[in-house]
Amino acid sequence: MSQERSRALTYALWVAIAIYIGIAIYVFWHFGFTKLPPPI
């Protein structure tokens, strides 16, 4: 694999990890903070 492609793949995977963390924040907000019963 050329160095350029390797670097592009690395960036793409970092972006994927960032997106995953973003999805996690959204899911916790959507289900946890707004839909499940409020903490007593």
Measured from the CB of residue 8, what is the shortest distance to another protein in angstroms?
A: 12
Quote the tokens at residue 39: 């903490």
Q: Is 39 a binder of another protein (CB under 8 A)?
A: yes
Query: What is the number of residues in the chain?
Result: 40
CA distance 9 to 13: 6
Least distance between another protein and beta carbon 30 (Å): 9
- Cα–Cα dist 16/24, whole Å: 12
Minimal distance, residue 19 CB to another protein, in Å: 10
By the rule CB under 8 A, 35 interacts with another protein: yes
